[in-house]
Amino acid sequence: MQETSRYFMELAYDGTNYHGWQKQPHSISVQEVIDDGLKKMLREDIRIQGAGRTDTGVHAAYMVAHFNYSGTLDIEHLIYRLNRWIPKDIAIYDIKPVQETAHARFHATKRSYEYHFLLRPDPFQVNQAYVLFREPDFKLMEQAASILLEYKDFECFSRVNTDVKTFLCDLTEARFEFKDHKVIFHITANRFLRNMVRAIVGTLLEIGYGKRTVESMHDIIASKDRSQAGASAAASGLFLTKIEYPKELFL
């Protein structure tokens, strides 16, 4: 009997047409589409495990998922066949052999997200950015974003009734980048809570529009109460962009 091997799959997707990453009843998900493709190509009931769970409409410029396979894998041929079979809004970039205990979610050491704003409508980015028809004060938003780096507990930005054991996250980046008519908010941490980035962006927007002060960010975080933070920003502007792992996981 052939020994089962584990692989990391690197991929990207436009989340517009999917009810998030995770497989769920009565709704199409990215995970389900890839599972179905692997089952068809490898003739084995394969279930991939993603590095995280993006919500409905959220995109991933870079996602990692692991899976097991008991046969001999022709990686280049599998990537080619999968990309021909799956919808064009999902792309498989690479498949790499890893240690048998490697876990796409639990062994990730750092994750990065971007939130894309447009300062004018763009017909080519209808579902890939959030259009700001009235420009907020980005200087105030930058000041408020820097406050995030002073804290570890982000329960105030977490989805309520979540099953996580801790709300602690080690943020190492929270900054804005300005490119012509686009503004990109970059945020990096060892882990993120469900809905955390969209809640942060929504709160920053309220500060940028003068509905809250920069200093209120301290009170919001200290409250540990989701109702004290701003409304979640639209899913369309959010991208998972980077996931890092220890080198020793790869064969």
- Backbone φ and ψ for 26, nearest 5 degrees, come out as 70, 10
Q: Is 35 a catalytic residue?
A: no
**Cβ atoms 4, 46 nearer than 8 A:** no
Strands (E), the chain: 5-13, 49-50, 59-69, 90-98, 110-118, 130-131, 171-179, 182-189, 238-244
Indicate which residue of 45, 55, 94, 122 is catalytic.
55
113 belongs to an annotated ligand binding site: yes
Q: What is the 3-state secondary structure (H, E, C) of 87-106?
A: CCCEEEEEEEEECCCCCCCC
**Cβ atoms 28, 18 nearer than 8 A:** yes
- Residues of the binding site for substrate: 113
| Active-site residue set | 55
